[in-house]
Amino acid sequence: MCQDLSTREGEDTGADKLITTRNCSDPTKNQQNLLFAINVDWYFDLHWRERIFSSLTEGFQVTVTYALTRNATESGTEKIVPMTMERSSTGIFCNIRSFYQAARTLQSNNYDLIHAVTVKPNIYFGLLARFYALPVLMTIPGLGTVFSLQTVWNRFLQRIILLFYRLAGTNTKSFFAFENSQDRDRFLRSGVCGVDNSTVVAGAGIDVKKFRCSNNTCSPHKDHLDLLFAGRLLEGKGLESLVLAVHAINARERKVILHVAGIVDVDSREAIAEKTIKQWQEQGKINYLGQVEDMPSLLTRMDAVALPTTYGEGLPRILLEANACCLPVIASDVAGCNEFVIHNENGLLVRPGNIDELVGAIQMLLDPALRAKMGRAGRRKVEEGYAVEKVIAQYRTIYDMLTAHGKR
């Protein structure tokens, strides 16, 4: 029986921190303390909550810390309070403040293992784990725009980020988990980690019992294509290119309805303006759904999913979910996407930012027989290699290996 316990820390530092403790094992047994650190609440809810509060953490007392967004509400018995972290900021003082808070979090308990996810938690807690000689697992869910856009500023940031990762990797109790082999290869070449303390995991993992094929998939009687974009509404995700491509197709004959599900990430410099989303909706270019909680239900009403991102992803969850529901996908030929999507097999790959190729891919998927073929191939691919049970087993193996080091 699991219990949720919550405490509030950081009052004396002027910073509020979310510390959520969950006991998911037999209380009569000796437990180990796990600190799970991630950037923001909604990302945790979307990608990690089910895994962390599962068989993955049996035998652990889990503490979760992350930043709180303005739209968050209380969930269950968890008490949600803010943690100060500016995800997009490169400012020295705000990062020092967040690093200090991370240090206070570690000092509050004698942790046996740290699992950090996303850049800033990885760097903060990776460096602290090196100082305290603690076992630490750093998950790299994609390298993002900093490593994709080769501006002078981005190349400078790349060097700084890799330097911090390299320092964290000098901890003999550190381990790195990547969601695609291209990101791992880059870190190996940069000397951040070695083959013995890194691996590639199968993304977020999908519950194939929850995400299932719909009986309505690929109906030959439909006179249009229901195409879904689901993700953060960022410029780098390629939504504008998708809008232009669909508009070009519909200018001749309305054959595609573009459904958009997601949130405007106000903390990101790449956020698409809300007025732009509203304008597209008013012009009939998109059907804006906002934030959708029940993705399995939504996917059963779709014919295909498109993610024309312009930067390297880890392994986009929406592609896994779509294929699990027997839907073909259109994705950019970039890291993460091109490792999962096999062109003309379970989906179609297009060059990032190439609207003509995007138009061609969408037009191909107007064929229900082709959609059905690719959808079936995608379902098999997810079942064979990306089911959530496999991901949990991969992470559990890493947990067991790292905790074998013992306490500090």
CATH topology of domain 3-205+388-403: Rossmann fold (3.40.50)
* Beta bridge mates, 234: 271
What sign results for the dihedral spanned by CA atoms 240, 242, 245, 249?
negative
The two domains 3-205+388-403 and 225-385 share their CATH topology (first three levels equal): yes
The interaxial angle of helices 355-364 and 239-250, nearest 10 deg, is 60
Q: Is the pLDDT of residue 407 over 90?
A: no
CA dihedral 334, 339, 342, 346 (to 10 degrees): -100
- Mean predicted lDDT score pLDDT of the chain: 86
Whether the Cβ atoms of residue 218 and residue 370 lie closer than 8 Å to each other? no
Strands 347-350 and 329-332: parallel
pLDDT tens-digit readout, 367-406: 999 999 999 999 999 999 999 999 999 999 999 999 986 5
CA dihedral 125, 36, 5, 12 (to 10 degrees): 20
pLDDT tens-digit readout, 267-303: 777 889 999 999 999 999 999 999 898 999 999 999 9
pLDDT tens-digit readout, 226-262: 999 999 898 999 999 999 999 999 998 889 999 999 9
Rounded to an integer, the average pLDDT of 104-121 is 91
Residues 6 or more apart whose Cβ sits within 8 Å of residue 265: 232, 233, 234, 271
Q: Which two tokens stand for residue 256?
A: 């595609």
Q: 134, 94, 106: which is closest to 10 by C-alpha?
A: 106
- In angstroms, rounded to a whole number, what is the distance separating the alpha carbons of residues 128 and 125? 5
Question: What pLDDT sits at residue 172?
Answer: 95
Cα-to-chain-centroid distance, residue 292:
16
CATH topology of domain 225-385: Rossmann fold (3.40.50)
Residues 6 or more apart whose Cβ sits within 8 Å of residue 13: 100, 101, 104
Residues 6 or more apart whose Cβ sits within 8 Å of residue 62: 21, 22, 23, 24, 34, 36, 52, 53
- In angstroms, rounded to a whole number, what is the distance separating the alpha carbons of residues 162 and 187? 8
Using 50, 70 and 90 to split pLDDT, how confident is the model at 2? very low
Strands 32-40 and 60-67: parallel
pLDDT tens-digit readout, 45-66: 888 988 888 999 999 988 898 8
- Which residue's structure tokens are 């951040």? 192
Strands 304-307 and 347-350: unpaired
pLDDT tens-digit readout, 169-226: 999 999 999 999 999 999 999 999 999 999 999 998 999 999 999 865 555 567 899 9
Question: What pLDDT sits at residue 1?
Answer: 39
Q: Which two tokens stand for residue 248?
A: 């070009």
* Beta bridge mates, 75: 78
Cα separation values, 52 from 24, 35, 115, Å: 10, 11, 10
Q: Is the pLDDT of residue 88 over 80?
A: no
Query: Which amino acid type is present at position 4?
Result: D
Using 50, 70 and 90 to split pLDDT, how confident is the model at 80? very low
What sign results for the dihedral spanned by CA atoms 73, 75, 80, 86?
negative
Q: Is the pLDDT of residue 316 over 70?
A: yes
Rounded to an integer, the average pLDDT of 354-371 is 97
Q: 329, 338, 339, 324: which is closest to 376 by C-alpha?
A: 324
Q: 3-state DSSP call for residue 282? A: helix
- In angstroms, rounded to a whole number, what is the distance separating the alpha carbons of residues 334 and 182? 10
- In angstroms, rounded to a whole number, what is the distance separating the alpha carbons of residues 183 and 187? 6
**% of the chain surpassing 70 pLDDT:** 84
Q: 3-state DSSP call for residue 304? A: strand
Q: Which two tokens stand for residue 184?
A: 């791992």
Question: What pLDDT sits at residue 12?
Answer: 38
- In angstroms, rounded to a whole number, what is the distance separating the alpha carbons of residues 78 and 271? 29
Q: Where are the domains of the chain?
A: 3-205+388-403, 225-385
